[in-house]
Structure 1
Amino acid sequence: MYILLIGPAGLFRDGVAALLRAFVPDADVQRCDRLPAEWPDGRKPDCIVMDGDRLRETRDELDALRGHARTTPVLVVLGEAKREYVDELVAAGVAGCVEKSASAELLTGALSLVLAGGVSLPRSLLAARQDAPSTLSARVPEPNPNLHLTPRQLDVLALLARGRSNKAIARELDVTEATVKTHLTTIFKALNVSSRGEASAVAARMEKIRDTQVSHAVNGHLPIARLLGKMERQRFRAGEVLFRKGDPSGQMFYVESGAVQLSELGIELGAGAVLGEIGLFTPERRRTSTVICKTDCGMRTVSADEAIRLYYQEPEFALYLVQLIAGRLQADKERRP
């Protein structure tokens, strides 16, 4: 198992690395000071373990974590597990949080849980939920059915509910971070909440937010390039066969540059196209067409496991794929005599 351990050099990082190597069978633990933009040596880790206190020091690190957490389980180790901060980390896609006072058994147990697709929360928070559920629930108010938010504020809240940072929201909506902060101040006041986690919890129960998220996917506003921006990049030459009809389907492709030809259908697709998605969901897991690069192409490649994980983590992406597959199947049906 390949584990990437992120944190400043010192006793904590060396100690966690030693624990992981001692308690996790065949653990290959590599250490980095910061989250890298690209994987070291091109190897994608099975899991990322991070010093959570370091995340408090720089928002850029949290932004980078959001991108990686969509496809790789992330376990964060915290000095103190405050509910608001854990809520923010979970909203960003973190799969587990463990306090630094925990035992080695708790750390490795949390690691096993997140690798299995679960979510692991600190015991102190779980105990608080059991001891005083009414108090914690009271902190997240029910959505006001008469609440009025502008369309732009709904866009901001919908992205916040998906764990986007202020910087990411600003990019997706083509506004400044200052504008996003202004909208959030108004939104928090309207929702009667004081944190991003509480706002996300309320938004998850708002019909208007669900409608906004669906609308973004249906109308093609989903930023596929940003969702897949952390995936492996590959280059292909003109004339190179990307895959052949009947081949095993283990990857999905996003075309960053260039153009490809779907041989059997005579269709040309360019930058922004997603390819190979149908084969990931067929019972046989086989390619349904041959794709040849018409020009030199730059691709982002997504493994089948990563695509399925993204499918479950990003509901808008799931709807996008359903629409894409349905549209292509319908077009193929109409072409047949």
Structure 2
Amino acid sequence: MTPFSYHKPASVSEAVNLADPSSRFIAGGTNLVDLMKENVVRPEHLIDITHLGLNRIERTSSGGVLIGALVSNAELAADSTIEQHYPLLSEAILAGASPQLRNMASTGGNLLQRTRCYYFYDTGTPCNKRDPGSGCPARTGLNRIHAILGTSDACVATHPSDMCVALAALEAVVHVEGRSGKRQIAFAEFHRLPQDAPQRDNQLADDELVVAIELPPPAFADHYRYLKIRDRASYAFALVSVAAAVRLDNNVIQLARLALGGVAHKPWRDPAVERMLIGQPPSQALFTRAAQTMLQGATPLSHNGFKVTLAQRAIVRALGDAVLGAAARGARP
């Protein structure tokens, strides 16, 4: 770990005015500290934002919820409003990490997690995400955990978050603040595909800080499912995950959301697939067509072709569970 300076600003405006390309904001530090220990990132300045008051969960005038960036993952998953009105989000959070990490990890920080690609963490190997232009050995090396959708010649890394897959399905909005002011970013636009600049995970400028995440009015409190498929039962990142949610009326799908994790550089949605489901009675055949369409652009590598079939089967299962309903399948309230 290289030397760095430490700052503890008293306000958001002070924090963003301290920020520059050589600095990093730190809250729980559950990912950043690991990256610093491994010399993957070497910030010259750390800006501690833990005392900025961004730790509340509040209802909005539109009927949604505003979640402060410093709310811990554990607090968010256990919040009564989230459990009752956005259980898909609670289920996704509880599928991630461990209780100890969820107690420390912040909601805003969860959005900014870096990939768990082994080549990214190994500073002895090339990596375009860590060192732009150096190459991507994952394309021809060990690539079992890597992306099958939205890849580029420069990068095949996947986004690691469970929470973000649910936020994508719920169409959250990210509130950010920088020296030029405040702005809101639709969740679908917040994270980037790698293209030719995989070192950029998201649309934030160097001085911008995530201050809150806004959820729209609830629509999927009864029919939802977060399904995570991984190599072991706990404390493992997803090979494939699915956030599925539907709204039913007289056994006809009126609204549908579907997002995948573990398959791309960002949580993966295809609105055209969701539209396929609307106006249709739920069925195995319908869900199978949706799953096939969702994966039709997949470009598997030498060791991860299994993810295509795995994702398709997971989509069918998650949609079926969502239609069945939380009460019927005994989901945690």
> Larger Cα Rg: Structure 1 or Structure 2?
1
TM-score class, shorter-chain normalisation, is under 0.3
Q: TM-score, normalised by structure 1?
A: 0.26
Q: TM-score, normalised by structure 2?
A: 0.27
User: Which is richer in helix?
Assistant: 1
Quick one: higher RCO (CA 8 Å, sep 6+), 1 or 2? 2
